[in-house]
Amino acid sequence: MLQAAGLKTGELPELWNLSEPGKIAAVHRAYIEAGSRVIYANTFGVNRFKSARCGHSPAELVHAAVRCAKDAAGDLPVKVALDVGPLGQLLEPLGTLRFEEAYDVFREIMAAGEEAGADLAVIETMSDLYEVKAAVLAAKEHTKLPVWVTMTFEQSGRTFVGTTVASMALTLTGLGVDALGFNCSLGPKELLPLVRELRRWTDKPLILKPNAGLPDPATGAYHITPDEFARELVPALDLGVYILGGCCGTTPEFIRALNDALPETVPDAPAVPLQSGVCSGTRAVGFGGVHVIGERINPTGKKRFQQALREGDMGYIVERGVEQQDAGAEILDVNVGLPGIDEVELLPRVVKALQGVTDLPLMLDSSDPKALEAGLRVVSGKAIVNSVNGEQDVLDAVLPLCKKYGAAVVGLCMDRGGIPQTWRARVEIAERILNAALSYGIPKSDVLIDCLTLTVSAQQEQARETLRAVRCVTEELGLHTVLGVSNISFGLPAREQVTVSFLTQAMQAGLDLPIVNPNQRAVMDAVASFRVLSGEDMSAEAYIRRFADAAPAEASKPAASMSLADAVMRGLRDETAALTGKALETMGEMDVVNTLLIPALDRVGERYDKQEIFLPQLISAANAACEGFELIKRRIASRGGESVSKGRLVLATVHGDIHDIGKNIVRVVLENYGYTVIDLGRDVPAKEIVEAVRREHVKLVGLSALMTTTVVSMEETIRALREAGLDCRIMVGGAVLTPEYAAEIGADYYAKDARQSVEIARQVLG
Amino acid sequence: MDARLTGIDRGQVLRYLGCRGAYDEALEEELLRWSETLRAEAEPRAVWKLFPLLPDFSLAGACFRLEGDAIRALLKDCDQVILMAATLGNSVERLIRRTQAVDMAGALILDACGSAAIENVCDNLCADLAAEFAPRYLTDRFSPGYGDMPLSQQRELFAALDVTRRIGVTLTDSGLMLPQKSVTALIGVSDRPQTLRPRGCAACGLHDTCAYRKDGKHCGTI
């Protein structure tokens, strides 16, 4: 419409709110005359990033836009919506825009919208559920406006960022939006199957605003007529869509045709059984059937994990996440509680790090409501809170958080009196927790009960009580159950036998969300078998796939003749670990590091320098050596010693640059040579780098930049480090740098590759 | 004209990996494995649009005036310009990040495969466009940031082509694209074949530092 009125491609339409208010109001009027009952103010692209380039504040543009819309509406029964579109920048973890900053940008827009007199906020054309969450929280925390959300999907059933319909429905229903649905994307016909899917996962009113069919890829023109559009859209009413409209390619004629085609009375929403579950932004786990929760992100009894938490070693922690996903976990329990650790700061950091590498839904495991809130806020998707118990003050502290952030909650069958000894008393507590959750407005399907596993070697009769409680909670209360299974076998030999047997019996009793160690093959085998017997694994397809080529795995035993150096050179991880273990029988840890592992890596480095091997092989060798270092670290950690480190340094990809694979390679190689790397990530402002160097007292900083344009910010960073008077050496690397250029911008060292960064670290740190 | 990923050029991947000589079978196997993984995950998308080119090197109907001598020289015989953008999608971005967490060597190979794959998608699109526009001629692809065309023009290209909405590629504040395996380019349309073809080592920004040149080779020969 605006383009027809003279707006150029690429011009900011929102500027017309100020320069051409008459033309904007005329467009609104045309839609009102065609029958629109809700009109969107011309605020779609307003945000601080875009308005910075046009010289007007977001508030100014929002006020002008809402005024245009209200002028057009006059006294007519027409609602004016604040229209909030995507920010145009990709959020973490794939992008660099921080969740908190996105929230802040939306806060500004939402507050201006309410102040300007909008009747509701519509968040639309979104691809990233994480961005939507920031916008919804901003609206709910800073205004009283009703909130509608529509997202943009492809025919595949995913958005550009990978959000699924189920994830969208679960997350937004949980966050308490007033209506949700789709806009843009496709034509009405193509969107109906997605509406049907959406209906399965939410009972909220649905919105549908399709395009006028599919665009011509070259011209972007749309082809269906207003009458066709209306005819194709009307069947959506039967799916419970009560809010209809048009997006790209539609005009007032389409709205008029749609109005004419609508029946007098709206049909009742169809009664569809509602599917519950949890999700990340891109993967949903629907409740029903067995879903494994991985227990390994937990410091209890794990010295090496505790060390990683104390050192803020995110790499180690997220690796445990990926490992469990690969082993078949569908949800990850995340527990970072450790004496002396600031859980409120650490939990959200770990949540974000995990979201960067795995798409599994998360279960936040903490007893600190503040840590839970900090974690829930930055979760992408719908999480589970682990846990509450039957104590009223715990319920009152945690349940409102679950309600606000739309999380499911685990209720432990215990209270001030401890764990009841009878199944009946545990079920009573479960009922109490359920009623408390309902009173806070949490749906029944989001209440998960943990009937608690006690160690069978200590309290033998309790295993049966637990199983009976699981059965009763499942069958009588109709709730899903969670159970930490591994604890059952504590103190017994051949623990796996008892654990697996108990797991099988518990699943038979109704347990559907077991918390286990998925890296234990027998445990996952038991789950696979159970799914066949329960009928969940149709035609045993998954089972057959799992065991199709399951030749019994030979324990990897290095050939007798292989040396540790050979194993490292050939990048053989298991063999390197085994041979390191053997060496440790007769040598001290530091001896193994200094006389075996490091010299082996050096030989690899020399071959790399001579171009006998290339970067992938260099990294493989470094990774293999890492297995040896890991073994040594675990040994030292287990007797409470300090970690082995040859020295510490800071690495960062400079501000403005997002290409960090080079920096990550340098990190891996340095770590595998025994250096401790404080990795600040990518797009890191100079100030943050200076602060880290000061705080950590490091003597070496590595900076990377890929682009000519970002070498400028590398230079700024070096200047900032010098001006701060910090006693540190600076090495730089990146595709467009040369030794001369590096010297020119003030660096001490130019590292042409990862291998050379090790030489530099040696010179500086020893 | 759909975006198509039809192959991942092995030589190109090796070049991105810096392999300048012999390499072993194990590496060859890894290459194969990771390029399969990448192809299974890729969601190639592309968008393009034709604009009349005005004498002052601005595109009619868009707020986009082309800056830099190199692009103007390339387009000297053209009266129209195609803007194009292509991407492998966020699924590939996610795959590479995830792999970095557990297998850096694999991630490096995957990253190189991704670069070769997006080139393939662009080549296919350009071949389709050449067929579409025949008998007229198309120039080589030219991207913001090449030669003396400022990278900052990426933003104007994005607005003119509506790239974010059409294929889901976003720009960071500093003008870099996410997902990273994405390409934008300009292609001139003319009645004559392109005369000036600034290819070869002399035109390359890495002329002074190129490792291949130091070995007496060039990047098209391995």
Residues of chain A found within 8 Å of residue B47, distances taken between Cβ atoms = 217
Read off the pLDDT band of B209 (50, 70, 90): low
Facing residue for A88 by CB, picked from B18, B30, B170: B170
Distances (CA, A) of A355 to A129, A248, A332: 13, 33, 11
Q: What is the pLDDT of residues A611-657, one digit of tens each?
A: 788 888 888 888 888 888 888 888 887 777 666 678 999 999 999 89
B25 shares contact with chain A (CB less than 8 Å): no
Return residues 320-359 of A near B (CB < 8 Å).
322-323, 356-359
| Separation of alpha carbons A699 and A496, rounded Å | 48
Question: What rounded mean pLDDT belongs to chain A?
Answer: 92
Question: What is the pLDDT at residue A610?
Answer: 82
Q: What is the CA radius of gyration of chain B?
A: 18
Question: Per-residue pLDDT averaged across A408-419, rounded?
Answer: 96
Read off the pLDDT band of A27 (50, 70, 90): very high
B37 shares contact with chain A (CB less than 8 Å): no
Most confident of A466-470, A619-623, A662-666, A711-715: A466-470
Q: Nearest chain A Cα to B49, which residue?
A: A218
Q: A212-248: buried (b, 16+ CB within 10 Å) or exposed (e) per residue? A: bbbbeeeeeebebebebbbbbbbebbebbbebbbbbb
Q: Do B63 and A315 touch (CB under 8 A)?
A: no
A-B CB pairs within 8 A amount to 158
Q: Is the pLDDT of residue B220 over 50?
A: no
Residues of chain B found within 8 Å of residue A8, distances taken between Cβ atoms = 61-63
Q: Do B91 and A162 touch (CB under 8 A)?
A: yes
Question: What is the pLDDT at residue A754?
Answer: 86
Going A518 to A519 to A520 to A525, the CA torsion angle's sign is positive
Least confident segment among A92-101, A264-273, A600-609, B137-146: A264-273
Question: Per-residue pLDDT averaged across A175-188, rounded?
Answer: 94
Question: What is the pLDDT at residue B26?
Answer: 77
Order of strands, edge to edge, in the sheet holding B78-87? Answer: B45-52, B78-87, B182-190, B137-138
| Minimal CA separation from B81 to chain A, in Å | 13
Distances (CA, A) of A415 to A303, A392, A557, A621: 30, 9, 50, 52
Q: Is residue B4 a part of any domain in this protein?
A: no
Q: Is the pLDDT of residue A659 over 50?
A: yes
| Minimal CA separation from B172 to chain A, in Å | 6
Name the fold adopted by A648-765. Rossmann fold (3.40.50)
| Minimal CA separation from B194 to chain A, in Å | 23
Residues of chain B found within 8 Å of residue A220, distances taken between Cβ atoms = 49, 162, 166
B179 shares contact with chain A (CB less than 8 Å): yes
Q: Nearest chain B Cα to A217, which residue?
A: B47
Name the fold adopted by A1-145. TIM Barrel (3.20.20)
Facing residue for B64 by CB, picked from A10, A95, A220: A10
Read off the pLDDT band of B222 (50, 70, 90): very low
Q: Do A10 and B167 touch (CB under 8 A)?
A: no
CATH class of A564-638: mainly alpha
| Minimal CA separation from A49 to chain B, in Å | 8
User: Which CATH number covers residue B27?
Assistant: 3.40.109.40
- What are the start and end residues of each CATH 3.40.50.280 domain in chain A? 648-765
Which distant-in-sequence residues (6+ apart) come within 8 Å of B70 by Cβ? B142, B146, B147, B148, B149, B198
Q: A470-498: buried (b, 16+ CB within 10 Å) or exposed (e) per residue? A: bbbbbeebebbbbbbbbbbbeeeeeebeb
Q: Do B97 and A356 touch (CB under 8 A)?
A: yes
Amino acid found at A556: S
Can you list the alpha helix ranges (DSSP code H) found in A234-313?
252-261, 303-310
Read off the pLDDT band of B221 (50, 70, 90): very low
Q: Do B101 and A322 touch (CB under 8 A)?
A: yes
Q: Is the pLDDT of residue B198 over 70?
A: no
Facing residue for B62 by CB, picked from A10, A159, A160: A10
B222 shares contact with chain A (CB less than 8 Å): no
Q: What is the CA radius of gyration of chain A?
A: 29
Read off the pLDDT band of B197 (50, 70, 90): low
Q: Do A184 and B49 touch (CB under 8 A)?
A: no
Q: Is the pLDDT of residue A249 over 70?
A: yes
Q: What is the pLDDT of residues A557-615, one digit of tens each?
A: 556 678 888 888 888 888 898 999 999 999 888 888 888 888 888 888 888 888 788 88
Facing residue for A658 by CB, picked from B17, B43, B180: B180
A614 shares contact with chain B (CB less than 8 Å): yes
DSSP-assigned beta bridge partners for residue A707: none
Question: What is the pLDDT at residue A439?
Answer: 97
As for how many domains chain B has, the answer is 1
Q: How far is CA A221 from the centre of its chain?
A: 36
B210 shares contact with chain A (CB less than 8 Å): no
Q: Do A661 and B164 touch (CB under 8 A)?
A: no
Q: Is residue B2 a part of any domain in this protein?
A: no
DSSP-assigned beta bridge partners for residue A410: A386, A448
DSSP string, A148-163: EEEE---TTSB-TT--
A49 shares contact with chain B (CB less than 8 Å): yes
Read off the pLDDT band of B18 (50, 70, 90): confident
- Which of B82, B176, B222 to mutate against chain A (most A CBs within 10 Å)? B176
Q: Do A658 and B145 touch (CB under 8 A)?
A: no
Return residues 259-318 of A near B (CB < 8 Å).
282, 315, 318
Q: Is the pLDDT of residue A549 over 70?
A: no
Q: Do A161 and B168 touch (CB under 8 A)?
A: yes
- What are the start and end residues of each CATH 3.20.20.330 domain in chain A? 1-145
Question: What is the pLDDT at residue A458?
Answer: 92
Nearest to A99 by CA among A334, A383, A384, A351: A351
pTM recorded for the entire structure: 0.89
Going A279 to A320 to A308 to A694, the CA torsion angle's sign is negative
Domain that holds residue B59: 10-214
Read off the pLDDT band of A550 (50, 70, 90): low
CA geometry: angle at A372 spanning A368 and A375, to 5°? 140
Q: Do A94 and B165 touch (CB under 8 A)?
A: no
Return residues 44-83 of B near A (CB < 8 Å).
47-50, 61-64
Q: Do B97 and A709 touch (CB under 8 A)?
A: no
**Between these two residues, B17 and A406, which has the higher pLDDT value?**
A406
Q: Nearest chain B Cα to A710, which residue?
A: B174
Cβ contact A334:A302 at 8 Å = no
Residues of chain A found within 8 Å of residue B19, distances taken between Cβ atoms = 614
Read off the pLDDT band of A447 (50, 70, 90): very high
Question: What is the pLDDT at residue A503?
Answer: 98
- What are the start and end residues of each CATH 1.10.1240.10 domain in chain A? 564-638
Q: Is residue B153 a part of any domain in this protein?
A: yes
CA geometry: angle at A254 spanning A249 and A163, to 5°? 55
Q: Do A90 and B64 touch (CB under 8 A)?
A: no
Q: In which region does residue A616 sit, left (phi positive, over 0), alpha (psi from -120 to 50) or beta (all else)?
A: alpha
Cis peptide bond N-terminal to B135, omega within 30: yes
Residues of chain A found within 8 Å of residue B156, distances taken between Cβ atoms = 10
- Which of A661, A666, A667, A736 to mutate against chain B (most B CBs within 10 Å)? A661
Q: Do A184 and B90 touch (CB under 8 A)?
A: no
Facing residue for A664 by CB, picked from B89, B104, B209: B104
| Minimal CA separation from A160 to chain B, in Å | 5
Least confident segment among A340-344, A359-363, B19-23: B19-23
Nearest to B87 by CA among B13, B155, B3, B171: B3
Residues of chain B found within 8 Å of residue A96, distances taken between Cβ atoms = 172-173, 178
Residues of chain B found within 8 Å of residue A353, distances taken between Cβ atoms = none
Question: What is the pLDDT at residue B208?
Answer: 60
Least confident segment among A169-178, B15-24, B52-61: B15-24
| Separation of alpha carbons A350 and A366, rounded Å | 13
Return residues 130-159 of B near A (CB < 8 Å).
145, 151, 156, 159
Q: How far is CA A409 from the centre of its chain?
A: 19
| Minimal CA separation from A399 to chain B, in Å | 33
- Which of A90, A318, A380 to mutate against chain B (most B CBs within 10 Å)? A90
B108 shares contact with chain A (CB less than 8 Å): yes
